[in-house]
Amino acid sequence: MKRAISWSLVALSLPIVAISQSLSTPDPQGVAQPSIAAREAACRTALADTANLEPRDFRRLEALLQLGDVLSEEAKFSESETLYRQALASARVAFGADDPNTAAVENSLAILFRQLGQYSKAERLLQHSSAVFEKRLATYATEFAVVLTTLAAVYLAEKQYEQAEPILQHALCVMEGVQGGKPVELIDIFNDLAIVRHKTGKPFEADVFYKRSIEILETAVSSDDPRLAVIRKNRAIVLSGLRQYREADLLFQQALGSLERVFGPDSPRVATVLKDYAVLLRKMHRKAEAKQMELRWARINARAYDSRNAEMTIDISALQVASRARFQQ
């Protein structure tokens, strides 16, 4: 009997939500803080343990995907791509090209291609996977909405905002119609709609989406969840443009602190916050602090060889695997 992938938008980042629960250590407030190094080590061990399994064995596929997820978070894109490609090849053999399991893996690889700026590759995968789920909409409405959101993210990266917005609206309608859905499942869509509004000259509308997202996440996830950090950082940029500097400053501090604790102070995920925060600090005439942020950004960017040609903006899809959680019977 074929095994299917269980999807969960509540756990938008499998490594952070699942693996880290057993590997992280509590902070002084008792909140578990995940260790990216521990997650990578655990995933490498898990993959090594599947070495003697058939390539199509679901345990082997799961191990490939989990390690690929963690490496993508660390901006180790070359190795991550290799793992995703292996998983996709195995899924096509095990399930067939038009099976939802295969479509789920396609979505993960497409997210990586989007990060690398390989938009045409990402779009081709997403067009296929969205068609697979649309044909099974009664069963896979959530998955269809996820793929639509990923496709919209590709158009956002290409600055095709008019093309992205109707796709996001469609995804929102589908997701809102899912029985048993939770508000946190809408965060991806709210974030991307906020980006569209901001980029099309509607910053106040963008801020409404960001505020709504933050309010939802603050009651649903830990204080250092990367999704919350990303949206705080995005909202800080909007508020900076609206000259609401004090609130933007606080949001940047919160985002930077969270990402440093989760990914480490020298992670490429931290670099983009440093760069944007420096812009705000210069607007506030805090030039010495801005210079420190810029120097840290330059050092991290120089060391991030594997991601030098990658898109270095932080967004939701770069930090989470909304596309699938894990294979189950």
Distances from the Cα of 6 to the Cα of 62, 81, 100, 168, angstroms: 11, 22, 10, 23
CATH superfamily, domain 199-322, is: Tetratricopeptide repeat domain (1.25.40.10)
pLDDT over 50 at 196, yes or no: yes
Q: Residue 55: its pLDDT value, please?
A: 72
Return the domain boundaries, the chain: 1-95, 199-322
Does residue 166 come out as left (phi exceeding 0), alpha (psi in the -120 to 50 range) or beta? alpha
CB atoms within 10 A of CB 99: 18
Q: Residue 10: its pLDDT value, please?
A: 21
Highest mean pLDDT among 151-155, 173-177, 317-321: 151-155
The pLDDT-based confidence of 316 (bands split at 50, 70, 90) is: low
> What is the mean pLDDT of the segment spanning 315-326?
44
Average pLDDT over the chain, rounded to whole? 83
Cα 104 to Cα 101: distance, rounded to the nearest angstrom: 5
Neighbour-count burial of 239, counting CB atoms closer than 10 A to its CB (0-12 exposed, 13-18 middle, 19+ buried): buried
**159-175 per-position pLDDT tens digit:** 999 999 999 999 999 99
CA 72 to chain CA mean position, Å = 9
pLDDT over 50 at 197, yes or no: yes
Cα 297 to Cα 275: distance, rounded to the nearest angstrom: 6
The pLDDT-based confidence of 269 (bands split at 50, 70, 90) is: confident
Q: Higher-confidence residue: 67 or 54? A: 67
The pLDDT-based confidence of 128 (bands split at 50, 70, 90) is: very high
The pLDDT-based confidence of 270 (bands split at 50, 70, 90) is: very high
**5-47 per-position pLDDT tens digit:** 333 222 222 222 222 222 233 343 344 445 678 889 999 999 9
